[in-house]
Each structure stands twice: as structure tokens, then as C-alpha cells.
Amino acid sequence: MPPHRTLPLLILAAALACAGPSARAAEDADRARRALEQGEIRPLDEAVAWMERLGVTHLRTGLSWADSFRPNALDWFDRQMEALADFQVTATFCFTPEHRGIAAHHTSAPLVRAEFSEFCAAMVRRYADPVPVRAEAVPVPERPLP
């Protein structure tokens, strides 16, 4: 199954695990679990709607280095991150492309670490909220040289 179909299910599963103890949240979680088990919840927008209904405010999602080599990967990443814009999102960077790993496996270390680093940096530049940086000189007391 393509990652753009499985990711909403993973996001929803995480949201269900974090649902609060209230009766309403429990009922919504049960309804969402049944819909998930029956294959009724697939699109990203539905998963996001369920998370909003469950009161989820923070979540973690992954941006896959391997998936970045798929056609239209940036379009998918943009859609995913736009759909999650109302949440406090922690992004993780994961999955080595088989052709760029020491071994042909998604958990392999990269052949060239700088390539993975550049992917991570590009994703941060693209999706992280800009944070103003205020640099100030810190006064250092003068000390006489010995």
C-alpha cells in the first residue's frame, strides 16, 4: 500500500492511543477504531477530522527520506503538513532509500551521511515555523593575561 494511504491510518491509530479518559472521547475512540478496522477511514482529511474530534493537539509524524524519491513526493509532503497545520507537530525523519543505504533496507545507515543530513535540512527549511533569532553579544569580563 502506498505511504500516502497508510500514513493517515498510522496518524489515527496514534490519536486513538492518546484519546482522553472522558466518556465522549472513549465513544469517539471506539467509533474510530471500528471505522479503522472496517477500512472506512483512509483519506488524510478523515484522519485529521477524527484527531480534531478526539481533541488531539500534539502529534508526531514522519517524513520519509525513501519516499522523497517517489514521484510527486514534495506534493504529498506539502499536503500532509498542510493538513496537520493546526496541530503542534513533531516531525521525524526516517527510512533510508534502499539504493542509498549501506544495505538495501529501510533501516540501513546511509552510504553518504551528508545526503540524509541534506534531506533533513531541506525538510526543516520547508516545514519548520520560522523562529526569530535575536543575537546579543554577551559581555565578557576582561582578565589580565598572565
Q: What are the tens digits of pLDDT across the range 73-114? A: 999 899 899 999 999 999 999 999 999 999 999 999 999 999
Interatomic CA distance for residues 86 and 10, integer angstroms = 18
Residue 2 has what pLDDT? 43
Single pTM value for the model: 0.63
Residue 99 has what pLDDT? 95
- The predicted-structure confidence for 113-123, as pLDDT tens digits, reads as follows 999 999 999 99
- The predicted-structure confidence for 31-64, as pLDDT tens digits, reads as follows 666 665 565 555 788 889 988 988 999 999 999 9
Residue by residue, DSSP assigns 24-86 as HHHHHHHHHHHHHHTT---SHHHHHHHHHHTT--EEEEEEETTGGGSTTHHHHHHHHHHHTTT
pLDDT band at 129 (very low <50, low <70, confident <90, very high): confident
pLDDT for residue 68 is more than 50? yes
Residue 109 has what pLDDT? 92
Which of 87, 103, 7 shows the shortest CA–CA distance to 47? 7
Residue 3 has what pLDDT? 45
